[in-house]
Amino acid sequence: MKRLIFDSHAHYDDEAFAPDREELLQSLPEKGVCTVVSMGADYEGCKGALDLASRYSYIYAAVGIHPENVAELPSDYLSQLEEWAKQPKVVAIGEIGLDYHYKDMAPREVQKKVFEDQILLAKRLNLPIVVHDRDAHGDTMEILRRHRPKGVVHCFSGSVEMMREVVSLGMYIGLGGVVTFQNARVAVEVAKEVPLTSLLTETDAPYLAPVPFRGKRCDSSMIRYVAQRIGEIRGQSADEILLAARHNAETLFDIIAEE
């Protein structure tokens, strides 16, 4: 099988994969997966992503602190991230961003400060960022406009208008399982209008499995269904979508995918 599937966003350190992680990761290349970028979301997650990247040639790592985990950071977290980020298979700072969905998250000012500090680190190291934006479109855009980092807004949930602005800043749009959901009206519009040169495919595994696996544990091979749906919406083949997304991801993360 041709390996066209580039999963630009997954969490293979997640405990959902504990029972069969190695078996699953060994099987993904033969299911068409060429590359996975496994995200760090806290210290343990970063270490987990680095470990996987060191053991699997097709897995790369991103290191960063997710907004969910910013409340009790050690004061030297940026130098720890920097040390990790200099390892050869680290291709991005992520996942970082803003999450205003739950009331008990860290205060917005704290989230914004940690987000911006990590953007500045990424810019200094010339790495792209992987952005998490949940119910925080206004502040996310304000920060991206001001700093103009390279990167991707993952699991993009904004409007077509916001998508156009993200693209005009030179950033990419990450689309995953949500486009296959029955009630996905805005995501479908975005999938239709996004320039093919700005699209990345992703899972957010173990979350957000596409239809017909919705609600089950997600893995990178399921991106085939995401590409199928995006192709259907745009009048293109799944392979065309996968190929374009792979090319875009190679450009953004500055790597060459395995064939």
| Alpha carbon distance 63, 242 (integer Å) | 25
Residues sharing a CB contact under 8 Å with residue 118, sequence separation 6 or more, in sequence order: 64, 65, 78, 81, 93, 96, 129
Which among 43-51, 87-95, 194-202, 224-232 is the span making contact with Zn ion, rule CB under 5 A?
Answer: 87-95
The whole-angstrom separation of Cα 138 and Cα 182 is 26
Of 119-127, 201-209, 232-240, 245-253, which part binds Zn ion (CB under 5 A)?
201-209
| Minimum CB distance to Zn ion, residue 171 (Å) | 17
The CA dihedral of 107, 110, 113, 116, to the nearest 10 degrees, is -60
Check residue 68 for interaction with Zn ion (CB under 5 A).
no
Taking the C-alpha atoms of residue 214 and residue 65, their distance in angstroms, rounded to an integer, is 27
Write phi, then psi, for 221 (nearest 5 degrees).
Answer: -65, -25
13 versus 121: smaller Cβ distance to Zn ion? 13
Residue with smaller CB distance to Zn ion, 206 or 231: 206
Options 204, 219, 221, 226; binder of Zn ion; rule CB under 5 A: 204
d(C-alpha 222, C-alpha 242), whole Å: 12
How many residues of this chain interact with Zn ion, rule: CB under 5 A?
2
Residue 62 CA to chain centroid, in angstroms? 9
Among the listed ranges 84-92, 105-113, 141-149, 203-211, the one in contact with Zn ion (CB under 5 A) is: 203-211
Give the binding range for Zn ion (CB under 5 A) out of 51-59, 93-101, 104-112, 179-187. Answer: 93-101
Calpha distance 121→59 (Å, rounded): 23
Q: Which residues, numbered 152-191, are part of the site for Zn ion (CB under 5 A)?
A: none
> Residue of minimal CB distance from Zn ion?
204
Q: Tell me the window of 76-84, 118-126, 199-207, 237-245 that interacts with Zn ion (CB under 5 A).
A: 199-207
Q: How far is the CB of 42 from Zn ion (least distance, A)?
A: 12
Instruction: Decide: helix, strand or coil at residue 132.
Output: strand
Task: Give the DSSP letter of residue 42.
Answer: S
Residue 238 or 253: the one with the smaller Cβ distance to Zn ion is 253
Q: Given the complex with Zn ion, which of 13 and 95 has the nearer CB atom?
A: 95
Cβ closest to Zn ion, residue 28 vs residue 238: 28
Binding site for Zn ion (CB under 5 A): 95, 204
